[in-house]
Amino acid sequence: MGSSIFSGYSIEKEPFLQVGHCKMWKVYNAVKKENGTKVCLFSFEKRQLDSYSTYEKTEGLKLISNEAKNLVKYKHPNILGVIEQMVEDKHSIAFIGERISCSLSSILNSKNKPSEIEMKIILRELLATVKFIHDE
């Protein structure tokens, strides 16, 4: 993503995770050059939708954009914080979010399954987040 917004960040060349609807968002570790804050760049490459019809492409882009916009709207400790809002160009959609190390999906699909207590903590946090979103 060539946006000048991201020029203030050192971004790793390869994504370490894929997240979101159908795992379409690539996640890259990044560091803010100014102060060394560790963050993540979330990037969606529009060419992923090339094999779809024009209508499906349009609806897919709306869905992807809404995922990013909703993160800005909801403020909760268990919901990813957005540091630099979404930017879009003809090739991609991207934003800078707080640093993550995994996704719920990656935890659940891991060979090292969480312990029973870890699963209880994950479920408690997930349910608190769902309740927060529902109440909002």
Kindly give the confidence (pLDDT) of every residue in the chain, 136 residues in length, as a single tens digit, with 9 standing for 90 and above.
Answer: 556 678 999 999 999 999 987 888 999 999 999 999 999 999 999 999 999 999 999 999 998 888 888 888 888 888 899 999 999 998 999 999 999 998 888 888 888 888 899 989 989 998 998 998 888 7
Write down the residue that tokens 């870890």 correspond to. 118
The answer to whether the beta carbons of residues 4 and 65 sit under 8 Å apart is no
Phi-psi region of 23 (alpha: psi -120 to 50; beta: other; left: phi over 0): left
Residue 123 to residue 5: CA distance in whole angstroms: 35
Residue 74: partners with Cβ closer than 8 Å, 6 or more residues away:
132, 133, 136
Alpha-helical runs (H) found in the chain: 54-73, 104-108, 116-135
Query: Residues in the chain, how many?
Result: 136
Residue 46's pLDDT is 94
Residue 93's pLDDT is 93
Q: Which helix (H) or strand (E) holds 111?
A: none
Handedness of CA 118, 121, 123, 129 (dihedral sign): negative
Maximum Cα interatomic distance, the chain, rounded to a whole number of Å = 47
Residue 3's pLDDT is 62
Residue 100 to residue 29: CA distance in whole angstroms: 8
Q: Which two tokens stand for residue 100?
A: 């993550």
Residue 79's identity, in one-letter code, is: I
What does pTM read for this prediction? 0.84
